[in-house]
Amino acid sequence: MLAVGLGDMTPDGSDGVDVTLIRWMLSLKPAERLEQLEAFVDFVHEVRSRNAAEPDTLDLRNVG
């Protein structure tokens, strides 16, 4: 069984950069990297949009 210590799961180096993420990104083709970025941006927009809409859905007549 391969033992993995917590030390192995922290970002490499003193600069705090997570090399595992870099290796994952480099394993993708440029088009796939762009897809990842777009998926992330779409997700953030969707969440922001949902939360921005929330106050409109509140029915203040029932408050208090």
Q: Where do contacts with other proteins occur on this chain (CB under 8 A)?
A: 13, 15-19, 21-26, 28, 30-31, 33-34, 36-38, 40-42, 44-45, 49
CB of 4 to other proteins, least distance (A): 21
Instruction: Considering the complex, state which of residue 56 and residue 59 has its C-beta at the smaller distance from other proteins.
Output: 56
Q: How far apart are CA 39 and CA 37, in angstroms?
A: 5
Of the candidates 2, 22, 4, the residue with the CA atom closest to the CA atom of residue 13: 22
Of the candidates 9, 27, 29, the residue with the CA atom closest to the CA atom of residue 18: 9
CB of 11 to other proteins, least distance (A): 9
